[in-house]
Amino acid sequence: MIRPINKDITLLSQKSEPATEKDLPVLLDLVETLNANSDRCVGMAANMIGVNKRIIAIRIQQQLTIPMINPVITKRARPYDTEEGCLSLEGVRPAKRYDSIEVEYFDYSFKKHRDSFTGFAAQVIQHEIDHCDGIII
């Protein structure tokens, strides 16, 4: 189900709770909502659809959607400063990011993964994990 975009700073500022297998419908809604907003958004966290769970999804090259349950960045390299926008917020804000990251997460089947990401994909993942941590850019 496509859900409305949450713009409530109070909810967005809260640290998300770990997700369980009971939260899979939230992941499905998150991916559907991300796809419905693909013209203006490349990543979403569950709190952006009003659910305080540690779930994110990103779109790479408009074709590959990567869902991540309980993502945690385990390695970071090559910091840089940038500016980012957010579907839940107005305007553009400064952010510190890392060009290369390693992330541990679970997929739809709760199979554990550890993957490395660089460049724009790494930036989007960091932005969405910030959402899970209650960090607003």
Say if residue 87's pLDDT is above 90. Answer: no
Mind listing the domains of the chain with CATH numbers? Answer: 9-132 (3.90.45.10)
Q: Tens digit of pLDDT for each residue in 42-69?
A: 999 999 999 999 999 998 876 678 899 9
Catalytic residue among 17, 102, 104, 128: 128
Catalytic annotation on 128?
A: yes
pLDDT value, residue 39: 87
Residues 84 and 137: beta-carbon distance below 8 Å: yes
CA distance 101 to 83: 18
pLDDT value, residue 94: 93
pLDDT value, residue 137: 81
Say if residue 121's pLDDT is above 80. Answer: yes
pLDDT value, residue 62: 65
pLDDT value, residue 72: 98
pLDDT value, residue 64: 75
Residues 68 and 46: beta-carbon distance below 8 Å: no
Q: Any long-range contacts for 57-64 (C-beta under 8 Å, 24+ apart)?
A: 57/27, 57/30, 57/31, 57/128, 58/34, 58/121, 58/124, 58/125, 58/128, 59/34, 59/35, 60/121, 62/38
pLDDT value, residue 122: 96
Q: C-alpha angle 80/83/2, rounded to 5°?
A: 120
Query: What's the mean per-residue pLDDT of the chain?
Result: 94
